[in-house]
Homo-oligomer: A and B are copies of this chain.
Amino acid sequence: MSVKPTVLKLGGSVVTDKEKTLTPNLQAIERLANEISRANVSHLVLVHGGGSFGHPVAEQYGLAEGYKDSSQIIGFSKTRQAMTKLNKLIVDFLISHNIPAVEVQPSSCVVTKAGRIQTMEDRPLRKMLEMGFVPVLYGDVVLDSEAGFAILSGDQLVSSLAINLDARRIVVGVDVNGLYTGDPKTDSSARLIQHITLEELKNLEPLIEGSKVTDVTGGMLGKMFELKPAVEHGIQTIIVNATELNRVYKALKGEKVVGTIIER
């Protein structure tokens, strides 16, 4: 690909109201569609999370544990439909801002093995980028060659896509300002890490792990785990607060912005 693509992730906590089942955050989606449109990045891939669409049904049927019994089968179908509903809404907003967005359904082109991407057909997606489309993927339930089915997170998709497409930049939009040394909501000494290398991140891990960081930093360590391979690949990665105006816009444009830059 002549132009290296940018991969933008919009977290489920940004595009949905995580507290209310099947409730999109329409105001955020509309604003972000506007920011993406204004940024006008060539070769953009968008990945969004499931938030209150994917998780409640998946949990009800225990899909995260893989296939156990036939009662889960209809739950897989229902979870898939919930993700289509959310994605359709987001793509509709993007199109209304004149962004040529095209859904790429992960469950139609990915098979995982024990929850990790085993094969992903990306010919349609590559052709879309070449033609000027904006492919839109999402965390999805997918078929798994060992477990029957699995939940494929948007973060795993982002990292895998960025590496395979040799992306120039990953922008991760979440509902906090970036990676903190502690929980800014409860710890007044917690400070935003503006720049971190993989080496520094490694040194930080025991520290933040000791303080149960998964909750403390709002699940940011799991995100880090997924993003690491892309950063190791040499792809600059920036985490920004997508609930704040113009953070995603600035990150897409490569402008200076509040957030955490992770580099090799």
A88 at the interface (CB under 8 A from B): yes
Q: How many copies does the complex hold?
A: 2
Closest to A148 in B: B131
Bound CA span A10–B95, Å: 29
Chain A residues 74 to 121 lying within 8 A of chain B, measured CB to CB, are: 74, 76-78, 80-81, 84-85, 88, 91-92, 95, 98, 100-105, 107-111, 119, 121
A143, B127: Cβ atoms under 8 Å? yes
A124, B110: Cβ atoms under 8 Å? yes
Number of interface residues of A (CB under 8 A): 42
A121, B109: Cβ atoms under 8 Å? yes
Residue interface mask A1-14, B partner, CB < 8 A = 1:
00000000000000
Residue interface mask A50-85, B partner, CB < 8 A = 1:
000000000000000001001001101110110011
Residue interface mask A130-151, B partner, CB < 8 A = 1:
0111000000001101001100
B73, A81: Cβ atoms under 8 Å? no
Asked if A109 meets B111 with Cβ closer than 8 Å, knowing A70-B132, A74-B95, the reply is: no
Bound CA span A92–B107, Å: 17
